[in-house]
């Protein structure tokens, strides 16, 4: 009953503005899928990002929840930079995910990567994830942020520990150009923290230089710009 009266009021307001109902319908149906330009800048001193996975999706799902265990798919990104499993999962969830897009190549300190992604501006939020190199299981994350209705928005993204691998800081456990070690998913072990938490950074107690590789948040600036 209440819904109906709100609709009636809306109808009166439209009539008063001289807008026809077909214009009203067009306003909501016109160009539901919009293209966004995404720019991800690495603002660390010495860390490299693996290729960045992004998605536009409903707010009812998320890449990760701080304080909860990482999914296998997110752990594959955090431990090895492998976006394949999470991308495949998202691409299959067509009722809640509009699109995924991956930035090409590694993103070096100070550098940016740019790409486009489609999104439904009436229902979607935006998320992002990539591994930080050299770390055991640290990722940069943005979770369910708003797509800009107009123009662009810039977000500061911080680093999280996925909690799926102990922070040995030993190169044999860490893939990428600095270490060249193993990036395959680690079996569950006692040293795993077990849940996602804000990354403590590089301690420098093992093989990684804290001076060279440690960071302070934010680690990335992420700009999302509406193109049409
Ligand atoms: Ca860890
Ligand atoms: Ca590892």
Residue pLDDT tens, the chain, 228 long: 344 444 344 444 444 444 444 454 445 555 579 999 999 999 999 999 999 999 999 999 999 999 999 999 999 999 999 999 999 999 999 999 999 999 999 999 999 999 999 999 899 999 999 999 999 999 999 999 999 999 999 999 999 999 999 999 999 999 999 999 999 999 999 999 999 999 999 999 999 999 999 999 999 999 999 999
Helix extents (H) in the chain: 2-17, 21-29, 72-80, 84-92, 210-213
Give pLDDT tens digits for 17-72: 444 444 544 455 555 799 999 999 999 999 999 999 999 999 999 999 999 999 99
Report the helix count and the strand count for the chain, using DSSP H and E. 5, 10
Distance 128 CA to ligand 2 centre (A): 21
Q: Which residues, including other chains, have CB under 8 Å from residue 96's CB and lie 6 or more apart?
A: 57, 58, 60, 61
Distance 184 CA to ligand 2 centre (A): 6
Q: How many whole angstroms separate alpha carbon 101 and alpha carbon 116?
A: 7
User: Nearest CA to 157 among 218, 106, 198?
Assistant: 218
pTM: 0.86
What is residue 32's predicted lDDT score, i.e. its pLDDT?
76
d(CA 126, CA 128): 7
User: What is the 8-class DSSP label of residue 196?
Assistant: -
Rounded distance from Cα 137 to ligand 1 centre (Å):
5
CA of 155 relative to ligand 2 center, distance in Å: 28
Q: How far is the CA of 197 from the centre of ligand 1 (A)?
A: 9
Which of 222, 204, 221, 225 is closest to 213 using CA atoms?
204
Q: CA angle, 87 as apex, 90 and 64 as ends, to 5°?
A: 70
Burial of residue 93 (CB within 10 Å: 0-12, 13-18, 19+) is middle
* Distance (Å, whole) CA 177 – CA 124: 35
Round to whole Å and give the CA distance between 2 and 180: 63
């Amino acid at each position: 009953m209440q819904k109906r009266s709100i609709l009636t009021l809306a109808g009166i307001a439209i009539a008063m503005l001289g807008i026809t109902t077909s214009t009203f319908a067009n306003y909501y149906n016109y160009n539901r899928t919009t293209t966004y330009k995404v720019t991800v800048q690495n603002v660390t001193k010495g860390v490299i990002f693996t290729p960045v996975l992004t998605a536009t999706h409903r707010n009812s799902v998320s890449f990760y929840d701080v304080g909860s265990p990482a999914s296998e798919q997110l752990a594959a990104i955090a431990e090895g930079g492998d976006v394949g499993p999470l991308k495949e999962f998202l691409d299959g969830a067509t009722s809640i995910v509009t699109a995924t897009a991956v930035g090409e190549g590694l993103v070096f300190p100070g550098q940016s990567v740019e790409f486009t992604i489609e999104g439904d501006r009436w229902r979607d939020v935006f998320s992002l994830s990539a591994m930080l190199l050299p770390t055991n299981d640290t990722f940069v994350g943005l979770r369910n942020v708003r797509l800009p209705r107009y123009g662009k928005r810039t977000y500061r993204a911080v680093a999280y520990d996925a909690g799926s691998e102990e922070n040995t800081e030993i190169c044999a456990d860490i893939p990428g150009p600095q270490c060249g070690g193993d990036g395959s998913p680690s079996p569950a072990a006692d040293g795993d923290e077990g849940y996602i938490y804000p990354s403590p950074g590089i301690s420098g107690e093992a093989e990684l230089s804290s001076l060279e590789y440690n960071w302070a948040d934010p680690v990335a600036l992420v700009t999302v710009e509406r193109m049409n």
